Amino acid sequence: MSTAAQRLVIGGTAADTRAPKLVLPPADLGWSLLGWAGLVFLVIGLLDQALGWFPLHFGNPEWEFGTVTRTLDTLPIAVLGLAMTLASAAQRRVPWTARAAAALCWLLAAVLLAGLVVFLLDVPVALKSVTQPAVRSGLERAIVKALVQGVLYPTVLAAIGWQGLRAARRAR
C-alpha cells in the first residue's frame, strides 16, 4: 500500500486530462444569493405590513392600537430582508442598492416612530376600557412589549441605514 497522499489538481492541463477538475463558483455567489433571498423576505414582509394597515380606520383607538402592535410583531421578516439585502450590497460593493436600502431603513424608522406616537396616544384609552384584572395584566404586557419594540426597531433601523450609507460611500 502506498503512503503517498493523493493530490487534487485544480484545473488540470491538456497533457493531464485524467486529473479531476475543481470548478469553483464565483466569489460573490453566496452574497448574491443572500441579497436575492433578502429581497424576497423584504417584499413579503412589507406586503404583510401593508395588508395589516388596510382598510384605514384612523380615529378608531382600537384599530390604531391593534394595528401598531401587529405591525411591530410582524416586522422581523421585513427587517431581516432589509438587513440581508444591505449586507449583500455592501459586500458586493453595489452602491445604489446600499443607498436604497439605507433610505428604506430611515423611512421605516420614521414611520415606526409616528406609529409609536399614535400608539402612545391610545394607551390611556385602552387602559380605561379594561376592568378585569386578568385582561388588564395581558394588556399591560402587550403595552410594554410594544414600547420596547417601538424604541428598539427605529434605533436599529437608523443604525443599519447609517451603515448602509457608509457602505455606499466605500463602494464608489
Inter-axis angle of helices 133-171 and 61-92, to 10 degrees?
Answer: 30
φ, ψ dihedrals at 13, nearest 5°: -130, 170
Write down the domain spans for the chain.
30-171
pTM score: 0.80
In this predicted structure, what is the pLDDT of residue 171?
78
Selection from 100, 87, 52 nearest residue 72 by Cα? 52
Mean per-residue pLDDT of the chain: 89
Res. 141: pLDDT tops 80: yes
Per-residue confidence band for 157, with pLDDT thresholds at 50, 70 and 90: very high
Which carries the bigger pLDDT value, residue 72 or residue 172? Answer: 72
Per-residue confidence band for 85, with pLDDT thresholds at 50, 70 and 90: very high
pLDDT digits (tens, 9 = 90+) for 86-97: 999 999 999 999
In this predicted structure, what is the pLDDT of residue 120?
96
